[in-house]
Structure 1
Amino acid sequence: MTATVPDARPPGRRERKKQRTREALVDAAFALFAEKGFDATTVEEIADAVDVSSRTFFRYFASKEEVALTFQDEQLRAVLATLAERPADEPIMTAIRRTVVQVARDCETGALGFSPERFECLITMTADSPALSAGSMEHTQRKLMLLTEVIAERMGLDPVTDLRPHIIAATAIGGFRTAAEALNAPEMGYPTLAEAADAAFAVLESDLNTR
Structure 2
Amino acid sequence: MTEPGLRERKKQRTRDALTEAAYVLFDRKGFEATTIDEIADAVEVSPRTFLRYFNSKEDVALTSANQQLTAMIENLAARPSDESVLTALRRSVVEVLEACETGRDGFDRDRYQRTRTLLARTPTLLAASLEQSAIRLDEVATLIGQRMGVDHTVDRRPYLVAAVALNAVQTGLNAWRAHHPAALASETVGELFDLLGEGIDYPAAVPPVSDDEPG
Tell me by how many angstroms 1:100 deviates: 1.3
Give SS of 2:118's match: helix
Equivalence for 2:26: 33
Q: Which runs of 4+ in 1 moved over 4 A?
A: none
Equivalent in 185, 190, 194 of residue 193 of structure 1: 185
What one-letter code is carried by the residue in structure 2 that aligns with 1:195? E
Give SS of 2:4's match: coil
Equivalence for 1:97: 90
RMSD: 2.0
Name which of structure 1's ranges 198-207 and 163-172 shifts more when overlaid on structure 2: 198-207
1:203 is aligned to 2:201: no
Quick one: distance in 2 between partners of 1:40 and 1:129? 11
What one-letter code is carried by the residue in structure 1 that aligns with 2:104? A
Give SS of 1:184's match: helix
Which ranges of structure 1 fall in alignment gaps of 5 or more residues?
A: 1-8
Identity within the alignment, %: 45
How many aligned residue pairs are there? 199
Q: Provide TM-score, normalisation by structure 2.
A: 0.84
1:71 is aligned to 2:64: yes
Tell me by how many angstroms 1:156 deviates: 0.9
The structure whose Rg is larger is 2
Equivalence for 1:54: 47
1:88 is aligned to 2:81: yes
What one-letter code is carried by the residue in structure 2 that aligns with 1:181? A
Tell me by how many angstroms 1:190 deviates: 5.4
Q: Provide TM-score, normalisation by structure 1.
A: 0.86
Question: Where in structure 2 are the equivalents of 1:129-144 lying within 5 Å?
Answer: 129-144=122-137
Structure ranking higher on relative contact order (CA contacts 8 Å, 6+ apart):
1
Tell me by how many angstroms 1:23 deviates: 1.3
Quick one: distance in 1 between partners of 2:111 and 2:132? 19
Residues 180 and 193, structure 1, Cα contact 8 Å, conserved in 2:
no
Equivalence for 2:147: 154
Equivalence for 2:110: 117
Quick one: distance in 2 between partners of 1:103 and 1:59? 29
